[in-house]
Structure 1
Amino acid sequence: MTGLTTVADYLDAEKSAEGKHEFVGGFVFAMPSFSNRHNTIAGNAFAILHDRVRGGSFQAFNSSTKVRIQLPDHNRFYYPDAMVVCNPNALGDHFQDQPVVVIEVMSESTRRADLGGKRDAYLRISALKVLLLVEPDMALVTVHRRRAEGGFAVEHHHGLEASIPLAEIDTSLSLAELYDRAGIED
């Protein structure tokens, strides 16, 4: 898919597309394939979150579920590597609107977008409490955490012994678990 398209056309085409595509204000962008390391870390993130919130009021989603971001002048659809929501959309939807936690594993091919427009758009989601940007080649996670007084505070967690508190969803995320089997050493 290329060029301008409507949200309805994008969502319809994405149901049968061979690969994943992100949508930014009418423009559709094919997502690149990712390394086994990237997919291992993303899979760990989802598995950990799914296990920790299972049976409670939160629900985890993997990278097959889009997040819709409704900005004043356009919509965006991204595929985060993992997310947790408190108020999930209807089961028939193909996206979520209110993630509380979003995890993006960086890659060289997407780094510029991940740290630019995509990060900025995620931080505009009113329900979002925590955005985690995960480095794939070292045990380092940059966390953007919503402050009670407004805005986001930035934290850096590094080393396999580190753990990220996620009080917002009543758990924590160990970097040793996140990077398990990803070939990362301290």
Structure 2
Amino acid sequence: MALPRTAPEFDVNAYMAWEEDQPERHEYLAGEVFAMSGGTDAHYTILGNAYAGLRVALSGTPCRAFVSGMKLRIDRADAVFYPDVFVTCDARDRQPEASLAKQHPSLIIEVLSDSTAAFDRGRKFELYQQIDSLEEYLLIEQDRKHADLFRKNSEGLWVLHPAGEGDVIRLESVGVELGLDGLYEDVEL
């Protein structure tokens, strides 16, 4: 005889419906929900600078940049995240059914913090790699002028392209160059 289920299953569709009514944002991973913490002045300034640079550079193209309030759904990983910034050029992400969550990014950017850096570099990157359309993953540090760009090569391997002070980051996935110093404009290190 089967035992009754003691807790209702919280699947991705239940999460999506529930999340729409929440005052704070939550990420979802395999049935678990995690509240998102706030960021620092530096964190939000860097992500704002990245978004602004991409928004201007992508104007008039089929690509759209999104900032941390837009969900990214990864069905293969049974996950929904709020990346700091991401870009999608895929027409499927412009359809009405994609108004609450996108699924086909070319580029994802995360601004690292002490509390999220290990997850962003490790498990989250592993989950992001399950997105077929993803070509680049940019991690920007907030306490020093440094970024790590991971680009998927023709063999499907992720190659690291580090950037430091004075460098230009070439985002081949979206045809944009961002000066690292510009990402840190108005940030006090």
Quick check: TM above 0.5?
yes
**Per-residue displacement from partner, 1:114-167 (whole Å, max 9, x unpaired)?**
1221111112211001100110101111111010122111111011x1111112
For residue 137 of structure 1, the aligned residue among 124, 128, 143 is 143
* Percentage identity across paired residues of the two chains: 31
For residue 79 of structure 1, the aligned residue among 77, 82, 105 is 82
Q: Hey, what does 1:55 align to over in structure 2? A: 60
Q: Hey, what does 1:115 align to over in structure 2? A: 121
For residue 20 of structure 1, the aligned residue among 22, 25, 48 is 25
Q: Secondary structure at the match of 2:114?
A: coil
Q: Is the 8 A contact 1:66 1:79 kept in 2?
A: yes
In our comparison, the structure showing a higher alpha carbon Rg is 2
Gaps of 5+ in 1: none
Q: 1:138 to 1:25 in 2, by over 3 A?
A: same
Q: How far is the alpha carbon of 1:89 from its aligned partner? A: 4.1
For residue 102 of structure 2, the aligned residue among 96, 103, 114 is 96
Q: Is the 8 A contact 1:164 1:173 kept in 2?
A: yes
The residue identity in structure 2 corresponding to 1:64 is G
Q: Is the 8 A contact 1:63 1:81 kept in 2?
A: yes
Q: 1:4 to 1:38 in 2, by over 3 A?
A: farther
Question: How many residues of Structure 1 are paired with residues of Structure 2 in the alignment?
Answer: 179
The residue identity in structure 2 corresponding to 1:90 is Q
Moved over 3 A (4+): none
Aligned equivalents of 2:52 and 2:9: distance in 1?
Answer: 36
Q: Secondary structure at the match of 1:41?
A: helix
Q: How far is the alpha carbon of 1:55 from its aligned partner? A: 1.2
Gaps of 5+ in 2: 1-7
Q: Is the 8 A contact 1:123 1:131 kept in 2?
A: no
Q: Secondary structure at the match of 1:16?
A: coil
The residue identity in structure 2 corresponding to 1:133 is L
**Per-residue displacement from partner, 1:52-86 (whole Å, max 9, x unpaired)?**
10111211111111111122xx5101111101101
Tell me the TM-score normalized by structure 2.
Answer: 0.90
Aligned equivalents of 1:86 and 1:102: distance in 2?
Answer: 12
Aligned equivalents of 2:179 and 2:22: distance in 1?
Answer: 35
Kindly indicate whether residue 162 of structure 2 is the aligned counterpart of residue 156 of structure 1: yes
Aligned equivalents of 2:9 and 2:115: distance in 1?
Answer: 23
The residue identity in structure 2 corresponding to 1:154 is L
Report the RMSD for the aligned CA atoms in angstroms. Answer: 1.5
Tell me the TM-score normalized by structure 1.
Answer: 0.91
Alignment of 1:170-185 (within 5 A): 170-184=175-189
Q: Is the 8 A contact 1:4 1:28 kept in 2?
A: no
